[in-house]
A and B are shown apart, each in its own frame.
Chain A
Amino acid sequence: MNYGTLIVGNGPAAHRLAGQLRHHGHQGAITVLGAEPRPAYNRALLTSVLACTLSADDLVLPRLPENVQVRLGITATRIDRVRRAVYTDDGTVYRYDQLVLATGARPNAPAITGLTSSDGGFSEGVRAIRTVSDCEDIPDGRTIVLGGGVLGVETALALRHRGQDVVLVHPGPYAMDDLLDESSGRLLLVHLENVGVKVFPGARAAEYAPGKLALDDGHVLDADTLLLCTGIRPNIELARAAGLAVRTGVLIDDHLRTSDPHIYAIGDCSEHRGAKPGHIAPAWEQAEQLARLLTGHNARYVGTRLVVRLRTSSIDVASFGSPGENTDRLATESVTLSDPARGRYARLILRDQRIVHAVLVGLPRAIASISQLVSRSLPVPSSRLALLLGTSADHWSNAELPDDAVICVCNNVTKKALTCAWRDGARELTNLVRTTRATTGCGSCQRAVERIYRSLSSTTETSGAT
């Protein structure tokens, strides 16, 4: 028990874990091995580097305490579970009491003819964005972004922001179709086209040759660069070679433990209860829970509610929870706001007054308040519309029904006509009905007429009393 904790990988998950271990009072040694040559940075902000709104240095995460050993540019190559040792590419061997895999993921390359070269790497002109160095020297000219998930959309908008000619190819009916419903998806599509991203929805790449991409719908597109945003593949090779249980990611339980009780996994390389990896919030949360566990605290990781907010200045898009979470349509309530003229849309699925799923477009204030409600699992306010529009319920005056409001449509009786008839002496409901004909058509205004009758009666009584 004196080798301490060894963390393989130096991305956001590893970084948060190392910091929080110290914070929670971890006594033993902490060593972090990072393959990338630079200090840990927030990968989720990379598209801002692409858009030139942030520099690579802005992404660097805070310095870790002095007594955390961080080894940069070192890649772990093998785990010896019996000896509890990790071998690396510079020959050094690191022993551990507990090992944490935080190896993240790498871009997934779809099986498309011509995408990869004979040496297994990408063909000329093909790239993907995963690291800071991937964002450097993106050629000018036309870029085809393949894949219209969050990353694809952010990337396309970022490149467009730099003034590049951008085409987005996406197999779904609209971009981000795994998170958005049709209405919000259409709004996003309109926005993409408005800012000049040419979108090919419902199309798959069929064949690539440098300078050209053929789609399965017959289009052939010119491309200086083909940027893959076609998902990620968790880095599980170390774990698999060591005989740990893996599926898409390294399988972990609610204690973030792999099939070896001395080995844990967190972040994009892990797979918890079948959840799809690739988001930073679960990585943060898992790191936090593991730090607690390894310092003797009681903790459990039960999943992270998915919150996706498109990182771009030109449109506000957010999705809370996954659409699948509202599988049982029982006992749920939904609220939909649709304001196509101003590019605004929202759909909330509620259970017990709490949000289980939400999609919002063009409503930054609502996105902010809903983030709060979701993260603290608070009930939504009674005026859903006020919440969505970012106003208070005072937006609607507590006014009286106006005089010229038509109460009985069948007989065209206004509120004023009822008031006048009352003043002229029709002091009983039956008289009021006889003189004005109100309620004698379809009868649906009965309650409204009664209410006016009651309010007339009561105001006259009170004014009579004073």
Chain B
Amino acid sequence: MTGTLVVIGHGMVGHRLVTDLRVKDRADAWRIVVLAEESRPAYDRTALSSYMAGKSAHDLTLVDHDFLRDPLVDLRLGTVAASVDRGSQTVTTTDGTDLGYDALVLATGSRPFVPPVPGHDAPGCFVYRTIDDLDAIRAAAVSGRPGVVIGGGLLGLEAANALRLLGMRPHVVEMASRLMPLQVDDGGGRVLAKLVGELGLRLHCGAAIRSVDTGTDGRVCGVTLADGSVLDTELVVFSAGIRPRDELAGPAGLGRAQRGGFLVDDQCRTSDERIWAVGECAAVNGRCYGLAAPGYRMAEIVVQQLLGFGGAALPLPDVSTKLKLLGVDVASFGDAHAMTAGVLEISYVDNTDSTYAKLVLSPDARVLLGGVLAGDASAYPVLRPLVGHELTAPPEQLLFGGAN
């Protein structure tokens, strides 16, 4: 007997869930309908910036021929789920189609948060999330002109670099006192600031945006900061964080976490036993994860349950990240901010090479708990797998010992 699984969202995690299920579902127990808002099938969003650096949409795709020809997968591009009726177990799309489901997976991802400052929606304002967004930015970019990115996090820096690749002169406005406040500490932030400064990015840290200013034509003509200073620009990219896309929850009577996201348990199940949420839209025990890898773990766990091997709970996700900004390495792994009680931290700054490294260690300094690397992240592949394990050599050797 074949059941119908409806997956809302064909992003990185939704796609992983479908392919994983297709590999493991040897009995063809599920027929899958995938609703995809975007006009193209899933692509590697983490590699989005390489699209600006010359890769094509085709290079980024996650989908192959077998997938598209799979008779048990019904991929509907450009189709948006408008509502979920749990009573009748149907999903209704914006074009009015009703789709019955036996199981439903919400994989709607996130949307960029755009602070509601005056002018935030004027022509000339962009976000940095999809290939379409990048096409729009490319079309609006004017070489030699300044462009302003609001937000100096990981994505903001990628966006700024994209503007640089388009020949623009990027400014980055960050509210916190350092770049990538979530990933690095002050030491790492200083090295990062120096390095991206050398790339030509102009930084405004500890600065809030007051308004996006528009000219008589209604288009963006500048950005005013809280201190009154004005940045002259016709192009603004908002990268001030993301918000889970959980707007289907309310009307469907599904719970939302305090800070947004479909509320699910550690098996990614909502309060409705037929409905799961995975990826960035899922608030696992109340917490959302803005990275691909934790989403993949969620997808795997849900596939297990769909195939009747329930039970596994989501392990504490690894939130390691590595920034791929041209020439500037930044990585953060494990308990990068030393939040675990009783830990010790050691950090190394080399002003000659502009590198910064910090390790978070257990009280006896033997077990690696996390760390931050900036300027040179070549030790990342060595250190990241060691998180939670005893160091295999003195830390300096792992960091600088030319381990290859």
Contact = CB atoms under 8 A, between A and B. Distances in A.
Interface of A: 329-339, 341-342, 344, 382-386, 388-389, 391, 393, 395-402, 405-407, 409-412, 415, 441-442, 444-448, 451
B394 A395 contact: yes
What are the 10 A-B residue pairs with the smallest beta carbon separation, nearest first? A339-B344, A448-B381, A383-B394, A405-B385, A341-B342, A399-B392, A447-B381, A409-B293, A338-B345, A334-B349
B354 to A, nearest CB: 11
Nearest to B358: A336
Interface string B170-187: 000000000000000001
B384 interface: yes
Nearest to A388: B346
A385 B318 contact: no
Contact of A444 (B297, B322, B344, B350): B322
A330 B404 CA distance: 28
Given A410-B292, A444-B380, A341 B343 contact: yes
Contacts of A412: 293, 296-297, 300
Contacts of B381: 444-448
A227 to B, nearest CB: 36
Interface residues of B, number: 42
A405 B318 CA distance: 12
Contacts of B384: 409, 444-445, 448
Contacts of B46: 441-442
Interface of B: 46, 187, 292-293, 296-297, 300, 318, 320, 322, 331, 341-352, 363, 365-366, 380-382, 384-386, 389-397, 404
A253 B396 CA distance: 43
Contacts of B380: 444
A407 B385 contact: yes
B394 A405 contact: no
Contacts of A336: 187, 345-347, 349
B349 A333 contact: yes
A384 B348 contact: yes
Nearest to B364: A395
Contacts of A339: 344-345, 363
B390 A384 contact: no
Contact of A395 (B300, B322, B347, B365): B365
Contact of A385 (B346, B350, B386): B346
A383 B396 contact: yes
Contacts of A411: 296
A445 B343 CA distance: 26
A406 B297 CA distance: 13
22 contacts: A339-B345, A341-B341, A341-B343, A341-B344, A383-B395, A385-B346, A385-B394, A386-B394, A391-B365, A396-B393, A396-B394, A397-B392, A398-B392, A399-B393, A401-B385, A401-B386, A405-B385, A406-B318, A409-B318, A412-B300, A444-B384, A448-B381
A388 B395 CA distance: 13
Contact of B394 (A341, A393, A409): A393
A388 B396 CA distance: 13
A267 to B, nearest CB: 37
A387 B351 CA distance: 21
A399 B296 CA distance: 30
A5 B397 CA distance: 57
B183 to A, nearest CB: 14
B338 to A, nearest CB: 8
Nearest to A386: B394
A400 B385 CA distance: 12
Nearest to A415: B385
Given A399-B392, A406-B318, A415-B385, A330 B397 contact: no
Contacts of B366: 395-396
A409 B319 CA distance: 9
A444 B346 CA distance: 24
A383 B397 contact: yes
Contact of A335 (B342, B347, B385, B392): B347
Contact of B393 (A333, A391, A398): A398
B352 A333 contact: yes
Nearest to A394: B394
A448 B379 CA distance: 10
A336 to B, nearest CB: 5
A376 to B, nearest CB: 22
A442 B295 CA distance: 13
Given A333-B349, A399-B390, A441 B293 contact: yes
A333 B375 CA distance: 14
Q: Which of B320, B380, B381, B390 has most chain A Cβ within 10 Å?
A: B381
Contacts of B349: 333-336
A352 to B, nearest CB: 10
A342 B363 CA distance: 9
A389 B396 CA distance: 14
Given A338-B347, A388-B346, A406-B318, 5 more contacts: A333-B352, A398-B392, A401-B389, A415-B385, A447-B381
B375 to A, nearest CB: 13
A395 B320 CA distance: 26
B351 A409 contact: no
B397 A382 contact: yes
Contact of B348 (A333, A338, A405, A407): A333
